[in-house]
Amino acid sequence: MRLSARPIAALVAALALTAGLSITGTPAVARPDDRAAAAEASDVSIAADTYTWKNARIDGGGFVPGIVFNRSEKNLAYARTDIGGAYRWDQAGKRWTPLLDWVDWDRWGWSGVVSLASDTAEPDNVYAAVGTYTNSWDPTNGAVLRSSDRGASWKAATLPFKLGGNMPGRGMGERLAVDPNKNSVLYLGAPSGNGLWRSTDSGVTWSEVTAFPNPGNYAQDPSDTSGYGNDNQGIVWVTFDERSGSAGSTTQDIYVGVADKENTVYRSTDGGSTWSRIAGQPTGYLAHKGVLDSSTGHLYLTLSDTGGPYDGAKGRIWRYDTESGAWTDVSPVAEADTYYGFGGISVDRQKPGTLMATAYSSWWPDTQIFRSTDSGATWTQAWDYSSYPNRSNRYTLDVSSVPWLSWGANPTPPETAPKLGWMTESLEIDPFDSDRMMYGTGATVYGTEGLTSWDSGGTFTITPMVKGLEETAVNDLASPPSGAPLLSALGDIGGFRHTDLDAVPAMMFTSPNLDSTTSLDFAEATPGTVVRVGNADAAPHIGFSTDNGANWFQGSEPSGVTGGGTVAAAADGSGFVWSPEGAGVHHTTGYGTSWTASTGIPAGATVESDRKNPKKFYGFSAGTFYVSTDGGATFTAKATGLPAEGNVRFRALPGTEGDIWLAGGAPTGTYGLWRSTDSGASFTRFSEVEQADSVGFGKAAPGATYQTVFVSAKIGGVRGIFRSTDAGAGWTRINDDTHQWAWTGAAITGDPRVYGRVYVSTNGRGIQVGESSDTDGPGTDPGPGTDPGEPPADADCSVAYTVTNRWSGGFQAEVKLTNTGTAAYDGWKLGWTFPGDQRIGQIWNASHQQTGAKVTVTDAGWNGKVAPGSSAAFGFTGTTTVDGPAPGAFTLAGEACAVG
């Protein structure tokens, strides 16, 4: 994603760089040396409400190219992501702790982590090489961050070049390494022809190793002129042989991997003073990793014909004997039989000669993991063909904690769902525990704690080890007045209906499956009606739901559509307006069985709906606002003089016709926040808002007459998330310097049912949920269709619970709730306690929470109103180890119902 941000004031040109200012706190902002302290948000006095922040749980959702275990302290491990920061493993909670949420708007590129290094001599020390792109997309140079408290606080040394955490080749590494014998010495492999760099003062200053002879020459696509595919991938890994040094003295033997197919490995035997190409090395490939087993003296290389992480058609594994100088091809399969490159590799520090490697680019039918216990002489595989296309797996893959990893797929063998992975560029065996292994994929971190069963012929269980690591890029958010509290539109994994913010959703949106959802909307007056659009390899690019996103059906589309664009739903759900990529703006009635081109509005315009008048839609393009009063058939240009460049997003206020807020622009032009109260005929700018990028609405404050407004903006010289409870007359910053999440400009929305709650998009750190300490009583007003209204005092209800199917370890049940009273339910909440170990898995026509055996099921919004004599029904699948009896008692809002 290309983002607009203010460039830093100046670039440091000297080879030796001064450290950034000291950062304290848990965590805090890292100030580079080229930024005046007065410009920092922490130096500006501004009101700030006390908010607590957490992620809406998804668990994973992006590429994890690197996992690093500390080799001197048990259970100390780190993970890096390409756009979502770095994490530290919390063994007690079996989860990951984010370390770079303090990265701010202007330095958003520092959320891309190209490499990590954990200090074996002093385990409290950790280093991160940060920067997302090496071309103009990233406005700032890269940096090496250093921490002496395991990432709780950081200092920074800004480099005179950029780093590429989201560039081609990002799975190679690690590019950053600490000398295990003299930990004040670090090396960094740079991209873009910038060579090898060294620090001799624990990362405070850096200078180029001018004696290193080869800065690399490989680019993914030399014909690309954007600076992305044609960038030289440079120096890609550094490995020390700790046997060639002693505590306090510089390690003498150092190995370096270079992105050069003919000269991919270099060595120094004099502590980095001189370097030479190792004779006899394999050619025609790039060494993605170089790992040295100090017990055997073997250096292992995983090689591919490309830099990855997506591509790679051929690969090998070679072993170098550091004592004899002999090279041996120890690949697990013949070269002619590879259709993939090798990437991840790890040696078992407890069992010399045991190593594992991955076929990172084996997309079909699955990735492959190889294991050897004899230094690569022989190998076994994680899976083999029993009789094609059937597979025999050494493992079981249990994704019950993150069920969406199956993608809802039911593929034909030899493919399976879920897959063992893809883009598996990092695999690490715990240096203290031969049974524990973790590896990163394009969507999660998988791992096992029973690895050695592989060698004894047994099976071992692989599970997601990704809790706390939230890496989705968020494109759009919606919080309806009833039903699920949140609907999300995400890159790569589509999006979710979040019925419980603290639970992983069972499945992403399907039917259709969209690679990335670019926009979604619901009908304000009938929130069960939802529409979403996005990118996919082929049609359709649009889906509809009539049950608040629980179930979907595919829509048709106009000819020429190539991407999602933006979409809007009429306030009553009677029609839709769609502005897709590849085609002009179109409108439809019903659910898009046919589309008609709209007139008076340019192709590519952003579209939204009025939240009260179902015939009124709005559009924006290149500084001009457009209005339709006939359901999107015709648009008329209205206000002008709005931002003509940069990203612009606008929202109409729920429940009030013609009240529109518009945010956007670019630092080089018009940039800010505007409001219209006459349906876009004119706009008034908020002069105190210097910049704004997204705007949304939430429940009004106690005693307020206007809904709460939330913006991602710059106000009073401070970038942050702001809230107004008086229609923009005053603003309060609600995030702080430890919670900035780099770029937050795509979407923001409050919750119409919970005062103060806000949902904030990030570009790699998932969905941030903010809860205010300034609440009205318990802080929740569920609104219609979510919490039950008061049923009759004697709980006039009857429940029929039927198990409709059973299988080994599971069952399916249907439940019917009947209103036996004389007053209608305005929302309902049904409770029961399972008599055994039964747990609900997937549920339809309702949402649920389960704590132990206790279950609470809430209506889906559209079925919340139940008239006397009428019923509401829902169903679910569940798991159980013993076929226990059905629940025998049910409550509605805590009062007993009849059963039968």
Residue positions annotated with a catalytic role: 82, 492
* Amino acid present at 537: D
Q: Which two tokens stand for residue 450?
A: 């029973």
Distance CA 103, CA 456 (A): 47
Q: Concatenated DSSP letters for 855-868?
A: EEEEE-STT-EE-T
- Sequence-distant (6+) residues with CB within 8 A of 687 are none
Distance CA 407, CA 421 (A): 12
Distance CA 442, CA 446 (A): 11
Q: Minimal CA–CA distance to 173: which of 220, 206, 128?
A: 128
Answer for the pair 265, 301: CB distance below 8 angstroms, yes or no. yes
3-state secondary structure of 578: strand
Answer for the pair 107, 41: CB distance below 8 angstroms, yes or no. no
Would the CA dihedral through 540, 541, 547, 551 be positive or negative?
positive
Q: Concatenated DSSP letters for 589-642?
A: ETTSSS-EE-BSS-TT-EEEE-SS-TT-EEEEETTEEEEESSTTSB-EE----S
Alpha carbon dihedral 556, 557, 563, 564, in 10-degree steps, equals -70
Q: Concatenated DSSP letters for 687-723?
A: TTEEEEEEEEEEPPPTT-SS-EEEEEEEETTEEEEEE
Distance CA 722, CA 663 (A): 13
Distance CA 299, CA 824 (A): 74
Distance CA 406, CA 496 (A): 14
Tracing tokens 């994490």 back to the chain, one arrives at: 87
- Sequence-distant (6+) residues with CB within 8 A of 828 are 788, 791, 817, 858, 859, 864, 866, 872, 892, 893
3-state secondary structure of 385: strand
Q: Concatenated DSSP letters for 328-369?
A: EE--SS-GGG--S----EEE-TTSTT-EEEEETT--SS--EE
- Give the angle subtended at the CA of 411 by the CAs of 405 and 412, to the nearest 5°: 150
Cis amide bond preceding 174, omega within 30: yes
Q: Which two tokens stand for residue 9?
A: 């004031």
Distance CA 568, CA 587 (A): 10
Distance CA 192, CA 44 (A): 37
How many angstroms separate the Cα of 360 from the Cα of each of 236, 492, 598, 643, 817?
16, 18, 46, 44, 50
E runs forming strands in 276-326: 276-277, 286-293, 298-304, 315-321
Distance CA 794, CA 615 (A): 44
> Within 13 A of 570's CA, how many CA atoms are on the CB side?
21
Count of all residues that appear for the chain in the document: 900
Distance CA 460, CA 549 (A): 36
Q: Minimal CA–CA distance to 697: which of 479, 876, 438?
A: 479
- Sequence-distant (6+) residues with CB within 8 A of 372 are 330, 332, 353, 354, 355, 356, 378, 379, 380
Q: Which two tokens stand for residue 369?
A: 């993991």
Q: Which helix (H) or strand (E) holds 842?
A: strand 839-844
- Give the angle subtended at the CA of 93 by the CAs of 91 and 97, to the nearest 5°: 80
Answer for the pair 123, 70: CB distance below 8 angstroms, yes or no. yes
